[in-house]
A = this chain, B = another copy of it.
Amino acid sequence: MSMSAKIPVAVLGATGAVGQRFVQLLQNHPFFEIVALTASDRSEGKRYIDAVRWVIEGDAPAAVQDMILLPTDAQTVMRYATIAAAFSALPNEAAQVAEPAFAQAGVLVFSNASFYRMHSDVPLVIPEVNADHLRLLTHQRRARGWSGGIICNTNCTVSGPAMTLRPLYDTFGVKRVFAVSLQAQSGAGYPGVPSLDITDNVLPFIKGEEEKLEAEARKLLGALREENGEPRGVVEAPLSVSAHCNRVPVIDGHLVTLSIELETPARVEEVMHVLQTYRRAEVAGLPTAPHQPIVVRNESDRPQPRRDRMAGHGMSTVVGRVRPEPLFGACGVKCVTLAHNTIRGAAGGSILNAEVWFKVFNA
């Protein structure tokens, strides 16, 4: 990749909450340059600044305010702009149709939608967890006859737990995980959660979330299944996850409590050391990669969403309260994990996937 010329990209579904994060985080990105923004029919043809209700702090970046919104249609977009990659913040139904069309047209889609995540030939990737799954793309392209492709990031709730479990899984093995989430409002997009539902309240249910957390964790921690030296799919990790998902009155940052049964005994200090020192070479030096994938805190009352969600510019997972889980004896460990749901768990995660792909796998 030549650094002098940036890779031209589109943001699909650029007016929603995650679309806005893509736009914000891609501002002045050293690798990528936004050349197209798409939106639903309702907003097509409008200037971005006129169509968007900017829900993030501050303002939409000046560079995109006057861009005219295109329809989320591969043919139309390609007619107006040459793009090598697209960041998709599309809702699921739109993603189901549009993402393959872009992939067919030669565009690499870095998707935040859930539709294709569990398809066997689609890489579901958090780079520090399973960057090697990106190698599935070769198979995907051949199987589907695409010159582009689809690479998914994870559900916003699973990103913190998956990052936390990766080094524990590799070092001690993990059998069972009881996870309880306290999720932020922004996870539901905009307008999302009505204030009358969440003020002075907790919603103890988020549709589809517990199933996604349980399934995606197993795929993320799984190993590539190879045939004739080529990855053909993922063998899910043999751990069991059970989740309770709750919505709480917090703007950003999904907190998850974990009670973990390891395969082999581990002391609290060992667990903390393994988490704190975890690094992955694939992401070293990438612009969106945090210095530390996992920040371990020693205070008794951290992590907290408001105070810790911006650790590593919103890309670090913050773990605290590492302590024994008595119900699993010597193999038990409890902790609390936090990740920024619209940065690491959504737009930032996809951008890091793209950085790894273009810089490392397809350099």
Contact of A204 among B17, B186, B326, B336 (CB under 8 A): B336
Question: Which residues of A, 4-47, contact B by the 8 Å Cβ criterion?
Answer: 17
* Complex: A54 Cα to B360 Cα, angstroms: 39
B300, A255: Cβ atoms closer than 8 Å: no
Which residues of chain B are within 8 angstroms of A196 by Cβ–Cβ distance?
Answer: 17, 55, 185-186, 190-193, 251
| Interface hit among A73-81, A97-105, A174-182 | A174-182
A201, B334: Cβ atoms closer than 8 Å: no
- The yes or no answer to A58 lying at the interface (CB within 8 A) is yes
Residue of B nearest to A180 (CB): B180
- The yes or no answer to A66 lying at the interface (CB within 8 A) is no
- The yes or no answer to A285 lying at the interface (CB within 8 A) is no
- The yes or no answer to A1 lying at the interface (CB within 8 A) is no
Asked, given contacts A193-B194, A195-B197, A307-B201, whether A257 binds B249 with beta carbons under 8 Å apart, the answer is no
* Complex: A176 Cα to B54 Cα, angstroms: 35
- The yes or no answer to A118 lying at the interface (CB within 8 A) is no
1/0 per residue, CB under 8 A from B, across A68-111: the answer is 00000000000000000000000000000000000000000000
A184 to chain B, nearest CB (A): 9
Residue of B nearest to A259 (CB): B178
B194, A192: Cβ atoms closer than 8 Å: yes
* Complex: A204 Cα to B305 Cα, angstroms: 10
* Complex: A196 Cα to B18 Cα, angstroms: 13
Number of copies: 4
- The yes or no answer to A240 lying at the interface (CB within 8 A) is yes
- The yes or no answer to A57 lying at the interface (CB within 8 A) is yes
B204, A302: Cβ atoms closer than 8 Å: yes
Which residues of chain B are within 8 angstroms of A244 by Cβ–Cβ distance?
Answer: 180, 257, 259, 321, 334, 336
A208 to chain B, nearest CB (A): 11
Give the total of A residues in contact with B, Cβ under 8 Å.
Answer: 56
Asked, given contacts A200-B199, A321-B204, whether A176 binds B302 with beta carbons under 8 Å apart, the answer is no
Which residues of chain B are within 8 angstroms of A58 by Cβ–Cβ distance?
Answer: 307, 310-311
Asked, given contacts A57-B306, A193-B195, A195-B195, whether A204 binds B242 with beta carbons under 8 Å apart, the answer is no
Question: Which residues of A, 151-195, contact B by the 8 Å Cβ criterion?
Answer: 176, 178, 180, 182, 185-186, 190-195
A246 to chain B, nearest CB (A): 6
- The yes or no answer to A149 lying at the interface (CB within 8 A) is no
Which residues of chain B are within 8 angstroms of A193 by Cβ–Cβ distance?
Answer: 194-196
Which residues of chain B are within 8 angstroms of A185 by Cβ–Cβ distance?
Answer: 195-196, 199
- The yes or no answer to A284 lying at the interface (CB within 8 A) is no
* Complex: A38 Cα to B340 Cα, angstroms: 35
A246, B182: Cβ atoms closer than 8 Å: yes
Residue of B nearest to A55 (CB): B196
- The yes or no answer to A248 lying at the interface (CB within 8 A) is yes
* Complex: A265 Cα to B36 Cα, angstroms: 47
Asked, given contacts A190-B194, A205-B300, A249-B250, whether A306 binds B242 with beta carbons under 8 Å apart, the answer is no
* Complex: A198 Cα to B311 Cα, angstroms: 19
The 4 closest A-B pairs by CB, nearest first: A191-B194, A180-B180, A244-B257, A205-B301
13 contacting pairs across A/B (C-beta < 8 A): A178-B178, A178-B259, A191-B194, A192-B194, A194-B195, A200-B305, A202-B250, A202-B255, A204-B321, A205-B300, A242-B326, A242-B327, A246-B257
